A = this chain, B = another copy of it.
Amino acid sequence: MTALAWYNGAPTAGVPLSNRAIAYGDGLFETIRVEHHRASLLRRHLRRLARGCERLGMRIDGAALDREIAAVLDDHGSGVMKIIVARESDERGYAVPAHADAARLLQFFPREFTADARNSEGVAVRICRLRLSEQPALAGLKHLNRLEQVLARSEWDDPAIAEGLMLDSSARLVEGITSNLFLVRDGVLSTPDLKRCGVAGILREVILEQLAPGARVTDLSLDDMVAADEVFLCNSVAGIWPVRTIDGLHKPVGETTRALQQRLQQLIEHEAQ
């Protein structure tokens, strides 16, 4: 896969050693779907990035980032735009440098978005053995410390398994490795509370705020998933994936999930007008 990349606006093939993403993962990222030169849900992505920077005590030059995103979108019509912001320092050691703006790395991965059977027919998933650790100080953030996800994803290589579900160390359901999780029971949606761990995804936010404002955010167990009428995953690049099987447990692709997919499609089309 050929990536196009820019570092603080200049084309790049790498990251300087001063970038603390390398040594510490001291930064955040966003992964954004681009179609017709338009970044989907961009304002939500940038708001989440700003909130994350505030929680990590990172400064970011938002105006420069906006200009750099606009330049990428001018030249590239369809694909995935990844933004990494990370602190820089020439000093060794964990102490956070004062007064420095975080560096901006933009990458663009060209691809076309065609009809995907994972959206229409649903996916098979597994439950990962690795448990997510509980760290309220980082919970919800899309930060660069992703070894847990790397280890969880290395548990299988069967291409028929589209995603791994992760539990926390207390066996609560949290999320998919690259997606958020929703359960539907008696027409009511619920999604795990992410106060201890997990990434608060943009599509999860859209569902909670716009598509299904009655959805519950709560602690959920495997038993809740077994009892659910429908299960689905979401992320802002892939959309909504109905879950058809979980380690062999079958679930139907139900009406609530289908209706949400339609409403999401309408929202995205409306946003694009």
CB-based contact A5/B17 at 8 Å: yes
The answer to whether A109 and B92 touch across the interface, beta carbons within 8 angstroms, is yes
Asked whether, in the complex, the Cβ of A143 is within 8 Å of the Cβ of B154, the reply is no
CB distance from A51 to the nearest CB of B (A): 16
Q: Which of B84, B94, B150, B154 is close to A177, meaning CB atoms less than 8 Å apart?
A: B94
Is there contact, CB below 8 Å, between A90 and B150? no
A residues 27-48 touching B (CB-CB < 8 Å): 29
**Binary per-residue interface labels of chain A (82-116) against chain B in the complex, 1 for a CB within 8 Å, 0 otherwise:** 10100000111111100000000101010000000
The chain B residue sitting closest to A139, CB to CB, is B133
- In the assembly, what is the distance between CA of A232 and CA of B250, in Å? 56
Closest A-B pairs by Cβ, 9 of them = A25-B25, A145-B145, A133-B133, A133-B135, A24-B146, A94-B153, A14-B14, A14-B16, A96-B154
Q: Is the interface of A mostly helix, strand, loop or mixed?
A: loop
Most chain B beta-carbon contacts within 10 A, residue among A56, A135, A169, A177: A135
Give 11 A-B pairs besides A13-B17, A22-B84, A25-B145 with Cβ atoms closer than 8 angstroms. A1-B90, A19-B22, A21-B22, A24-B149, A56-B150, A95-B157, A96-B153, A130-B137, A133-B138, A138-B151, A145-B147
Q: Which residues A151-197 have CB closer than 8 A to chain B?
A: 151-154, 157, 169, 177-178, 197
A26 interface residue (CB < 8 Å to B)? yes
Q: Is residue A3 contacting chain B, with contact meaning CB distance below 8 A?
A: yes
Residues of chain B with a CB closer than 8 A to A17's CB: 3, 5, 12-15, 107
Q: Which residues of A contact B (CB under 8 A)?
A: 1, 3, 5, 12-17, 19-26, 29, 56-57, 80, 82, 84, 90-96, 105, 107, 109, 130-131, 133-135, 137-138, 143-154, 157, 169, 177-178, 197
Asked if A169 and B134 sit within 8 Å, CB to CB, the answer is yes
Pick from B95, B138, B147: contact of A24, CB under 8 Å: B147
Q: Which B residue sits closest to A31, measured CB to CB?
A: B92
Instruction: Give the docked Cα–Cα distance between A133 and B24 (Å).
Output: 16
| Residue of B with least CB distance to A138 | B147
> Which residues of chain B come closer than 8 Å to A146, judged between CB atoms?
23-26, 94, 145
Instruction: Kindly state the separation between the CA atoms of A153 and B145 in the bound complex, as whole angstroms.
Output: 17
A22 with B15, Cβ < 8 A, contacts A92-B1, A148-B137, A153-B94 known: yes
- In the assembly, what is the distance between CA of A16 and CA of B5, in Å? 11
Report how far A154 CA is from B153 CA in the complex, Å: 32
A247 to B5, CA, bound (A): 46
Please give, as numbers and ranges, the residues of chain B lying within 8 Å of A148 by CB-CB distance: 135, 137-138
A102 to chain B, nearest CB (A): 12
